[in-house]
Structure 1
Amino acid sequence: MAISKERLHELLGQLTDKDLELVSELVERLSQTSTNREIPLDDEPTTQDDLDAINQAREAYLKGELISLKDIEHELRN
C-alpha cells in the first residue's frame, strides 16, 4: 500500500503524545538503518532446544493459546 507524506502527516496529527513517542522511536530506527536490508543467512545449527520451542509454539497455536494484537498494543502503549 502506497502512502503519501501528506497522509502520513494527517495520521500523525491524530495520535496521542504517548503514541507519538512510540511511532517516533520506530521511525528513528527505520531512518538509521542501512539501505541494504538484506538479512544475513543464519548459519548456526538448529538445536534440540530450538526444535522443542518450535513444537511448543505450534501446539499452543493449535490449542488457540494466542496473544491478541489488542493485548500487544496495550502492553506497548502502557
Structure 2
Amino acid sequence: MAVNKERFYELLDRLSDKDLELVSELMERLANIPVNREIPLDDEPTTQDELDAIKDAHEAYLRGELISLKDVEHELRN
C-alpha cells in the first residue's frame, strides 16, 4: 500500500501526544536502518525447548487462549 506524505501528515495530526512518542521512536529506528540491509539466515538448529514452546503456543491458540491486538495496543498506550 503506497502512502504519500500528505496522507501520512493527516494520520499524524490525528494521533495523541503519547501516540506520537511511540511513532517517533519507530521512525527514528527505521530512519537509521540501511536501505540495503541483509538479515543473516538463522542457521542454528531449533532446540527441543523451542519446539516445545512452539507446540505449547499452538495448543494455547487452539484453546482460544490468545491476547488480542486491541489488548496489546491498550497495554502499549497506557
Interval containing the TM-score (normalised by the shorter chain):
over 0.9
Which aligned pairs between 1:13-24 and structure 2 lie closer than 5 A?
13-24=13-24
Which letter does structure 2 place at the counterpart of 1:59? E
The CA distance in 1 between the partners of 2:60 and 2:34, in whole Å, is 36
Partner of 2:66: 66
Q: TM-score, length-normalised on structure 2?
A: 0.95
Which aligned pairs between 1:50-65 and structure 2 lie closer than 5 A?
50-65=50-65
The CA distance in 2 between the partners of 1:20 and 1:30, in whole Å, is 15
Which aligned pairs between 1:13-52 and structure 2 lie closer than 5 A?
13-52=13-52
Q: Which has the higher contact order (CA 8 A, sep 6+)?
A: 1
The CA distance in 2 between the partners of 1:44 and 1:35, in whole Å, is 26
Partner of 1:11: 11
Q: How many pairs were matched up?
A: 78
The CA distance in 1 between the partners of 2:60 and 2:37, in whole Å, is 32
Runs of 4+ in 1 over 4 A off after TM superposition: none
Report how far residue 10 of structure 1 moved: 0.7
The CA distance in 2 between the partners of 1:36 and 1:77, in whole Å, is 32
Q: TM-score, length-normalised on structure 1?
A: 0.95
Work out the percentage of aligned pairs sharing the same amino acid.
76
